[in-house]
Amino acid sequence: MSFMLLLPRGTTVLTSTPCSLPWEVLLEAAVCPVKRVQFSSHVYKFWSNHPLPASCLECPPDGSNINNMCSRSMASKTPVGFIGLGNMGNPMAKNLMKHGYPLIIYDVFPDACKEFQDAGEQAGSRPPLKVQDGHLQIQVVSSPADVAEKADRIITMLPTSNNAIEAYSGANGILKKVKKGSLLIDSSTIDPTVSKQLAKEVEKMGAVFMDAPVSGGVGAARSGNLTFMVGGVEDEFAAAQELLGCMGSNVVYCGAVGTGQAAKICNNMLLAISMIGTAEAMNLGIRLGLDPKLLAKILNMSSGRCWSSDTYNPVPGVMDGVPSANNYQGGFGTTLMAKDLGLAQDSATSTKSPILLGSQAHQIYRVMCAKGYSKKDFSSVFQFLREEETF
């Protein structure tokens, strides 16, 4: 007879004698016969026909109280660091909390942390702020380095490559205080070469880096239905998936570090092209006398259907709950789309790949940024086309 016990990554098992543990542990790393053993994996298998030592503080003495043990394990989840609490990072961090993870948070703009701080102070209507190991449910710290000092699993969600470099390698960056064995997951959309360079720096510190950019937008971030495209050491994917699965419905392993970014760049280039195409088709149809809702309905039951037309339509009044229904506020900014298309352009140049439509989309979004659309959602390309007489 056997049973499974899930423990958080980084769980420390204490024994009173320097001897090998009398149960089978399903780990790649060897179990060293020392008094304090810290495991990098989180799956353990115990056999009930082996007596478990009373000196083991993290293991039940027999199989009868396994449910209680699992409850205690869940109650003592180790804190997760989260850096970058913008439009995407904010709801992602909230979903981690919903799954019971205490948070150590930081954002370069202190106001971004205020909502979490206020929630932490309102303990009356919330679960207790203290968990079993004494950590606060929410802790706001003053730098990425402070996050690394308090958490051995960190997620970063930042706007640009330069922001990511600063958060990891800056004067008060993660690498200043990162602990060996830490898992660092970057969900920013940045240059794949930057991800690879950060991975090398992290590896030198004895930690693990994975790139895991997302797709789905703010709506999916709020509902916990993001798609994560993950690049890194395959053996660490399960540990990353444990956290990412709290924030997304699809967590896909893409390959080595940088492949997650490659997948995201390709996706966003296609998204920009399809959004421009949808905006052009809707604009043309309206000028030909078609009702926009009717035209959208026809497109969405025909071969022209795409995410930009059926889920994120750029025409005001066609759909509720999308940026076009709110003067293009919120959502995915035009500046960020221009940035991602620039990454696609750089990658196309380095790989000698023709991206004729991708290059044109890049130019359109750059012009939009120069003409006052930088802070609006990227679907505002419809408004841009309507207002531009030069096209």
SS3 35: coil
User: Is 196 one of the catalytic residues?
Assistant: no
E strand segments, the chain: 2-6, 12-14, 36-38, 43-47, 80-83, 103-106, 138-140, 153-156, 183-186, 208-211, 214-215, 226-231, 248-255
Residue 230 phi, psi dihedral angles, 5° rounding:
-110, 130
Which DSSP string corresponds to 114-137?
A: HHHHHHHH-GGGSS-SB-TTS-BS
The residue type of 112 is: A
**Widest distance between CA atoms in the chain:** 83
Instruction: Check 77, 94, 264, 339 and give the catalytic one.
Output: 264
Taking CB atoms within 8 Å and a gap of at least 24, the contacts of 338-341 are: 338/362, 338/365, 338/366, 338/368, 338/369, 339/159, 339/160, 339/189, 340/189, 340/264, 340/265, 340/268, 340/269, 340/272, 341/268, 341/269, 341/272, 341/365
Which structure tokens are listed for 55? 């000196």
Catalytic residues: 264
